[in-house]
Each structure stands twice: as C-alpha cells, then as structure tokens.
Amino acid sequence: MAGVRTETETRDATLLAAPWNVVVHDDPVNLMGYVTWVFMRVFGYPEPRAAKLMMEVHTRGRSIVWTGEREKAEFYVQQLQSHQLQTTMEKAELRSRPPSTAACASMRRGRATGMSCA
Amino acid sequence: MRIDAAGPRDWDVLRMIVPDALSGHGHLAERIAAPMAGGEDAEDWHELVVPELRSLFDSQLGAVAHAIEQAASAAGNGSGPLTIDRDSAEAWYGALNQARLALEQRHRLHEDEPPDPGQMSPTRRSAWFRGQFYLVIQGLLLDHVMNR
C-alpha cells in the first residue's frame, strides 16, 4: 500500500512544519509609539508596517505580528515580553487551497497528496 | 534628557518609581509570561525565560534607583539635575513602564472612561498622578532620546 504510506508521511511533515503565529495583545499602559518602536526593533519592520500592526493591536485587541517556524516564534515572544508587551504564540491555521487540476489528475492516478478533489 | 529636581519633594517623587514598580501582585516577569503558562512548553518557559525576564526587569529598577540616589546625593537632596543619557534611556523607560503596569494592575486606573481623578479615593488619585508623571517622562524619552 505504497499510496497510503505516502499520504501519512505527507501529513506528518505538514504538522511538523506547521507555522506558528506570534500574537501581541492590547493593554492600557504601553504607548502606541513605543509598541511601534518595539516592532521596528525586534522584527526590523519599516515604520509604516510596524505602525499598522500597532494600530491593529490597539483597535482589534490583538495582532499577529509574525508567522513562521516554532523555534523562531518562541524567540520573538521572549523578545517582545522582555519589552513588556503581552505576547503569546499559537498554531497558525493552515489554509488549504484547492488543489490544482494537475494534482487532482495525479490523485486519480493513485498518487495521494493529502488534499481532496471535488 | 535632564530632569531638574527643585528640592527634596521632587527627589521623593522620583524615588517612588521603584516601589511603584514592585507594588504589583507578583513579579512582572511572572505576569508577562503568564499567558504562555497554558501552552505545551509552559514548564520550559517558566524555567528558562522567566528568570531572564526577572533579571532584566530587576536590572532596570536597579539602574534607575542607583541613578536617582547618585543625582540626589550630588544635589545634597536639594535642587539639582538628573541626566538620562541614551545608553540608560531603555532602562529608564522599562522601569517607568513597570511602575505604570503595576499601578494599573493595583488601582485599575483606566477602568473609568474617561478617568476622573476628582472622583477617585486619595490613594487612587495619588497613584493616578504618579502614573501620569511617569507617562510624561516616557513620552519625552521615546520622542527625544530613544527614537533618535
């Protein structure tokens, strides 16, 4: 059942490589200018992007400020917490895109991809 | 940046930064890291990250306390300057932030919108004004020292 094994391995690899979100939460103390400054400093974001994320924290109560591999996400959480920002991390939702026609054709030929075809 | 203290009362106000920062429930390092406590790596986070945060936050308070006492001593606890240079600006900002976070946690200063000091108890009102004083220094540090 080579096809079944291929599917399992693909899913395991996807889980291991699942991206993580670094989330900053709003609080009534930190200055907006300071939050922008921290985003520029920690992530190297240009000011417009840092200010946009800061406004998202301010207006929505939270903002995903970075997404990527888990180890690096932990590093960023630590950096942001050291600047006294309320920060957490969470698994990013994997948004599955519908597979391409070629992929579906491949599935029908018995090569599993882990995605479903209509 | 320079703060000119006019006399003993001004030094006493500045000396309140550290006790205010320590007035929160539990150490700030624990409070900041608390949202990570529910995760899979809560134990690692507590063992590895919290001590580093604790050390950083304590060092900010130590630096500020030292600078205030040194300046007050040089002024004979009377009128005299306290200078905050670029190298120590972040420690000052962090210490003032710790003080404001602790005051907010303890007194819920932003619970009333808009906050009305006239309706606050004397203790809460005093905390409110100290918080506003710290906020002004933070704004000046950010605009004129850290962002340059």
Predicted complex ipTM: 0.91
Find which of B48, B60, B61, B93 to mutate to test the A interface (most A CBs within 10 Å of its CB).
Answer: B93
Q: Under 8 Å CB-to-CB from B49, ≥6 apart: which residues?
A: A78, A81, B33, B36
Here the tokens at position A34 are 């300071």
B49 to chain A, closest Cα gap in Å:
7
Question: What is the value of pTM for the model shown?
Answer: 0.82
Contact B145, B84 (CB under 8 A): yes
Q: What residue type is assigned to position A62 of the chain?
A: R
Average pLDDT over residues B126-146: 95
Residue A82: its chain B contacts at CB < 8 A? 52-53, 56
Q: Which residue from B49, B110, B142 is facing A28, i.e. has the nearest CB?
A: B110
pLDDT tens-digit map of B41-98: 788 888 899 999 999 999 999 999 999 999 999 999 999 999 999 999 999 999 999 9
Cα B71 versus chain centre, distance: 18
Q: Which residue from B49, B101, B139 is facing A29, i.e. has the nearest CB?
A: B101
Q: Count CB-CB contacts under 10 A for residue B128.
A: 18
Average pLDDT over residues A12-29: 82
Average pLDDT over residues A41-63: 97
**Phi, psi at A43, each rounded to 5°:** -100, -10
d(CA A17, CA A36): 29
Q: Which residues of A touch B (CB under 8 A)?
A: 25, 27-31, 33-34, 37, 74, 77-78, 81-84, 86-89
d(CA A56, CA B119): 32
Q: Count CB-CB contacts under 10 A for residue A64.
A: 15
